[in-house]
């Protein structure tokens, strides 16, 4: 099974998802290395919580701006999507 990943942000106050930033398939291996995800489990399906510096590094990799003050991030797997999917960000 092929798995895609997104950088997903959760509001620190409410716990609700507020940001979903797809990681292009071509950058997923690098994002997983940055997140220090185990490579020996290709079908890993759990959310991977990220320390703030790691979330920032992955955001930089995918050229996204994130707010670490109000948001905490995970690298989350999901079914594959086209690399052309536009990032979804909640309105402020």
What are the tokens at 76?
Answer: 């989350």
Closest to 85 (Cα-Cα) out of 33, 7, 11, 1? 7
d(CA 68, CA 76): 17
Q: What is the pLDDT of residue 45?
A: 63
What is the percentage of the chain residues whose pLDDT exceeds 70?
79
Instruction: Supply the range of the domain harboring residue 67.
Output: 4-89
Number of domains in the chain: 1
CATH of the domain at 56: 3.10.50
Q: What is the pLDDT of residue 86?
A: 46
Asked whether residue 85 carries a pLDDT value surpassing 80, the answer given is: no
Q: Does 35 or 38 have the greater pLDDT score?
A: 35
Mean pLDDT computed over every residue of the chain: 85
Backbone φ and ψ for 51, nearest 5 degrees, come out as -65, 155
| Mean pLDDT to the nearest integer, 80-84 | 59
**Entry pTM:** 0.82
């Amino acid at each position: 099974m092929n798995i895609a990943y997104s950088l997903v942000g959760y509001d620190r106050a409410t716990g609700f998802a507020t940001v979903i930033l797809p990681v292009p398939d071509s950058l997923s291996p690098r994002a997983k290395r940055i997140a220090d995800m185990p490579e020996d489990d290709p079908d890993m399906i759990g959310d991977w919580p990220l320390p703030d510096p790691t979330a920032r590094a992955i955001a930089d990799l995918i050229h996204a701006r994130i707010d670490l003050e109000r948001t905490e991030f995970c690298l989350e797997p999901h079914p594959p999507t086209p690399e052309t999917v536009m990032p979804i960000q909640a309105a402020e």
